[in-house]
C-alpha cells in the first residue's frame, strides 16, 4: 500500500471530517475569550486544538474497536456516511489490534499536551482533560459503555459543547464566566442533535445488541420530539441571549441557517423509519453545527472589532 492510500485509509478510520465537532467549539471559545478580554494566545489555542482533536480521534477509534467487539457494527446493515462506524474493520482494511493501538497513542498524545497546558494555565485544564479522555474512552469501552446506556448522546453534547469551549476559553483567560457557559450551549445541543439523528438508522442493530441509545429507549416514534427540542432550543438560547445582551446582537445572523433546520426537521419527520433516506437530514444537522458555530465566532470577532 502506498503512502497516499495509507493516509486516506487512516483519515477514514479516524473519521477526520468529524473533528469539526471539537474544532468549532475550540474556535468559538477562543473568539469569545478575545471578545471579553482582548487576549489571544496563538500557541495555547493551537495546542488546545491539537489536544481535543487527538481526544476525538482516540474516541472514534475506540468506538470502532468496541462496537466491533460487541458485534454492533457487524450487525448494522443500515450504515450511512454519518453513522455505523468507519467500517475499516468490517471491510478488512485495518485490523482491530491496530485500531486499538492507535487509539491509545492518540489519547496519550492528548494527555501529554493537556498536562503541559495544565502546568502553564492551571489545574482546571487538567480536570477538563481528564473528563474528556475518560468519557471518550469509556463511551463504548467496558465496563462503563456509556454509549450503550442511553446517556451517550447527552455526554457527547456536553463534551463537545461546554467542556471543549470552556477549556478553550480558560486556556486564554484562566477563568470561566457565565457568558461563556451560555454560548457553549448551542454548539453542545447541535452535537447532541447530530448523534441523536444518526441513531435512527442504527435503531434495529442497536436494539439487537442491547445498545440502549435514546432512540432505542424511546422508540423511533417518540424519539422524534427529542430532535425537535434540541434544534428549537439551539435557536432559542441564541435569541434570548441577544435580547438579554449576553450575546452580541449581531449573532442573530446565525438565524440564516433556519431553512436548513426546517428542512432537516421535515425530512426526519418523513423518513425517520427509512434508513438511508435520512442521509440529507443528517448532513443538514452537521451543516447547522458548522455554520452556526462559525457565524457565532464571526459575530464575536465583528462585534469586538467594531465595538458593537
Distance (Å, whole) CA 289 – CA 20: 9
Residue with cell 457568558: 179
Q: Which residues are registered as beta bridge partners of 83?
A: 80
SS3 of 107-168? HHHHHHHHHHHHHHHCHHHHHHHHHHHHHHHCCCCCCCCHHHCCCHHHHHHHHHHHHHHHHH
Q: Let me know: does 288 contact 268? Beta carbons within 8 Å.
A: no
Residue 64: pLDDT band with limits 50, 70, 90: very high
Residue 238's Cα: distance from chain center in Å?
A: 19
- Provide, rounded to the nearest whole percent, the portion of the chain with pLDDT above 70: 98
What's the burial of 44, exposed, middle or buried (CB within 10 Å: 0-12/13-18/19+)? Answer: buried
**Of 44, 67, 58, the residue nearest 16 (C-alpha):** 58
Average pLDDT, the chain: 92
Distance (Å, whole) CA 173 – CA 36: 9
Residue 308: pLDDT band with limits 50, 70, 90: confident
Distance (Å, whole) CA 82 – CA 103: 20
Distance (Å, whole) CA 7 – CA 20: 19
Q: What is the model's pLDDT at position 1?
A: 53
Give the mean model confidence (pLDDT) for residues 13-36.
95
Residue 275: pLDDT band with limits 50, 70, 90: confident
Q: Let me know: does 187 contact 21? Beta carbons within 8 Å.
A: no
Residue with cell 469509556: 138
Cα distances from 85 to residues 33, 62, 194, 236, in angstroms, run: 35, 11, 14, 32
Query: What is the phi/psi pair of residue 175, to 5°?
Result: -155, 165
**Of 212, 290, 205, 305, the residue nearest 250 (C-alpha):** 305
Give the mean model confidence (pLDDT) for residues 43-59.
97
Give residue-wise pLDDT tens across range 167-197.
999 999 999 999 999 999 999 999 999 999 9
Give residue-wise pLDDT tens across range 70-111.
777 677 676 777 777 788 988 889 999 999 999 999 999 999
User: Is the model's pTM score more than 0.85?
Assistant: yes
Domain range annotation of the chain:
16-306
Q: How far apart are the first and last CA of the chain?
A: 55
Q: What is the model's pLDDT at position 67?
A: 86
What's the burial of 81, exposed, middle or buried (CB within 10 Å: 0-12/13-18/19+)? Answer: exposed
Query: What is the phi/psi pair of residue 170, to 5°?
Result: -65, -40
Amino acid at each position: 500500500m502506498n503512502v497516499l492510500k495509507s493516509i486516506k485509509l487512516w483519515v477514514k478510520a479516524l473519521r477526520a471530517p468529524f473533528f469539526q465537532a471539537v474544532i468549532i467549539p475550540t474556535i468559538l471559545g477562543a473568539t469569545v475569550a478575545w471578545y471579553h478580554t482582548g487576549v489571544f494566545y496563538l500557541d495555547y489555542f493551537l495546542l488546545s486544538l491539537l489536544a481535543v482533536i487527538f481526544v476525538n480521534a482516540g474516541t472514534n477509534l475506540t468506538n470502532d474497536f468496541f462496537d466491533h467487539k460487541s458485534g454492533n457494527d457487524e450487525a448494522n446493515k443500515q450504515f450511512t456516511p454519518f453513522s455505523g462506524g468507519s467500517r475499516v474493520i468490517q471491510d478488512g482494511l485495518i485490523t482491530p489490534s491496530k485500531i486499538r493501538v492507535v487509539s491509545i497513542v492518540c489519547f496519550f498524545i492528548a494527555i501529554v499536551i493537556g498536562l503541559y497546558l495544565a502546568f502553564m494555565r492551571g489545574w482546571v485544564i487538567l480536570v477538563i482533560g481528564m473528563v474528556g479522555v475518560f468519557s471518550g474512552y469509556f463511551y463504548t469501552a467496558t465496563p462503563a459503555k456509556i454509549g450503550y446506556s442511553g446517556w451517550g448522546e447527552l455526554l457527547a453534547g456536553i463534551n463537545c459543547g461546554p467542556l471543549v469551549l470552556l477549556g478553550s476559553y480558560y486556556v486564554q483567560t484562566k477563568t470561566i464566566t457565565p457568558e461563556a457557559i451560555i454560548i457553549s450551549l448551542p454548539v453542545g445541543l447541535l452535537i447532541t442533535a447530530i448523534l441523536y439523528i444518526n441513531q435512527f438508522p442504527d435503531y434495529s442493530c442497536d436494539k439487537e445488541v442491547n445498545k440502549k441509545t435514546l432512540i432505542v429507549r424511546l422508540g423511533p416514534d417518540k424519539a422524534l420530539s427529542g430532535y425537535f427540542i434540541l434544534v428549537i432550543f439551539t435557536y432559542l438560547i441564541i435569541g434570548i441571549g441577544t435580547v438579554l445582551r449576553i450575546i452580541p446582537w449581531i449573532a442573530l445572523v446565525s438565524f440564516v441557517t433556519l431553512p436548513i433546520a426546517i428542512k432537516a426537521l421535515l425530512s426526519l419527520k418523513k423518513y425517520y423509519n427509512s434508513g438511508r433516506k435520512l442521509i440529507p437530514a443528517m448532513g443538514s444537522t452537521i451543516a447547522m453545527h458548522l455554520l452556526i458555530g462559525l457565524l457565532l465566532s464571526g459575530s464575536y470577532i465583528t462585534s469586538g472589532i467594531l465595538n458593537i
